[in-house]
Chains A and B, each alone.
Chain A
Amino acid sequence: MPAVFTVDAHSGVPIYLQLIEQVKRSIALGVLSPGEQLPTVKQLATDLTINPNTVARVYRELERDGVIETSPGRGSFVRSNGGVANASRAAADVAAAALDAAVREAKSIGIAVREARELFHRALERWYPDHEKTEDSRS
């Protein structure tokens, strides 16, 4: 399972959150496939030189989110049921987390709701240029 995870202890983002996001991203991008085995807690902890309890926490939360499943003695695996649906939900999770962080930051530096909404629409127009600026993008 040579997916490469990295952590930055000085990024200001908790290590376990960095890892959860990276696993989800790897699944969303197809770097990790359904049914694929994840490294053991010990393996990943030593690979990344981070505390094993941190890795254990990452796996617990991923399991709770239905992203992976763990069977005692065999290890942790990317959930196979759901397949593509699972991966696209993981993709949505990654996007949601990024949006969430952006909105939180906007709020923390005093951006008003109106202004935030305006910024969001501007970003949509920039990255989805072919899409009409209508409300139907919700469907």
Chain B
Amino acid sequence: MNDSPAKIAIDRLTKRYGSTLAVDSLTVDVPKGSIFGLLGTNGAGKTTTFKCLLGLARPTSGTVTIDGKPLTPENFERLSYVPERCALYEWMTGAQHLELQRRSFKYYDGRRADELMDLFGLDRRKKIGKYSKGQQTAMALVLAFSIRPDILVLDEPASGLDPVHQRHVLDLIIGEAAGGSTIIFSSHQIGQVERAADRVAIMHKGTLRLTGEVEQLKADVKVVEATFDSEAPQLNGLGTDPRIGYVMRAGKLLRVYVGGDAGEIAKAISAKGPRSLRVLDQNLEDIFLSTVGAAPLNEAEY
């Protein structure tokens, strides 16, 4: 999986708006057939990265290549982009948008488009301006998936959608990837990224903080989770162990995040007599929060 050539290669991409450094020397490879999740708090540089990737913004320096070559009009025939904010014509109906898509894209698939319109329950005769925000997002997704895309770039594709339709979006993404398409998407729904993505990159304030395979990243840090019969005890002495990332304490529950082998730490906690003790892989939300420097829970909050 790792050896496949990059479908999308972002190399030392830098984008500056005036005095603001929106993206700072970002290097990321997206392998073919991958579902790549781009995570970051607001203002991390995700949307700017997408714009540079699509040629909608000119990089200050660095390059973006697709199949090893700069973006060409040919790429665009099989490339779909769903921006964070709706970019449809409010005065046109759903049907008119489909027609526009049919005329613009060689690989437009009308049957697929019809299926998707039904899936999201969209009224073809209605003007886009009369759609709800969620319906506008859904319409943009219908258009994106209707052209049999080779590459899909989705900026917050689930925003404004109800949980059922969010699930449809994930299923569509997974289906496309299974068919060989490459997907790069951003989302604040970390749980969804965790399930669907095979690789992620975490950006913070314009820079890449962490990237890799989801399963690998989750296995890299172990969580020692212990429950006690009363208030979880202090970790005197252990607290300064360099292997410990951070400690979460919530009443009787204690979670200690350990980089590398957790055996010794688990043993030390075990000596404090917990009722139960487990060593687990961490989840993506833990990884994200610790990467952007926000612990999930402060001790003081509980």
Chain A interfacial positions (CB closer than 8 Å to B): 7, 9-16, 40-42, 45-46, 49-54, 57, 105, 107-110
Contact = CB atoms under 8 A, between A and B. Distances in A.
Contacts, number: 85
A17 to B, nearest CB: 9
A113 to B, nearest CB: 14
Nearest to A14: B215
Given A46-B175, A50-B195, 8 more contacts: A10-B283, A13-B281, A42-B179, A46-B171, A49-B171, A52-B174, A53-B198, A110-B267
A9 B194 contact: yes
12 contacts: A14-B215, A40-B178, A42-B175, A46-B175, A51-B174, A51-B177, A51-B214, A52-B33, A53-B177, A53-B198, A108-B262, A110-B270
Given A50-B196, A51-B196, A16 B178 contact: no
Nearest to B172: A46
B195 A51 contact: yes
B135 to A, nearest CB: 22
B174 A49 contact: yes
Contacts of B153: none
A110 B270 CA distance: 7
Nearest to B177: A52
A108 B179 contact: no
Interface size classification for chain B: 35 or more
A107 B261 CA distance: 12
A45 B173 CA distance: 10
B166 to A, nearest CB: 10
B263 interface: yes
B265 to A, nearest CB: 9
B248 to A, nearest CB: 15
Interface string B229-271: 0000000000000000000000000000000001100110011
Rank and list the top 9 A-B pairs by shortest CB-CB distance, nearest first: A12-B280, A42-B178, A110-B267, A52-B178, A109-B270, A51-B198, A53-B198, A12-B281, A108-B266
B121 interface: no
Contact of A107 (B1, B263, B283): B263
Given A53-B33, A110-B271, A14 B281 contact: yes
A49 B170 contact: yes
B270 A51 contact: no
A107 B218 CA distance: 21
A51 B191 CA distance: 13
B85 interface: no
Interface in B152-175: 167, 170-171, 174-175
A43 B223 CA distance: 32
Given A9-B194, A51-B198, A110-B271, A14 B33 contact: no
Name the residue in A12, A42, A46, A50 with the highest tally of chain B Cβ atoms < 10 Å from its Cβ: A12
B68 to A, nearest CB: 22
Contacts of A12: 223, 278, 280-283
B215 A15 contact: yes
Contacts of A41: 178
Contact of B35 (A11, A15, A42, A51): A51
Contacts of A57: 1
B219 interface: yes
A42 B170 CA distance: 13
A41 B178 CA distance: 7
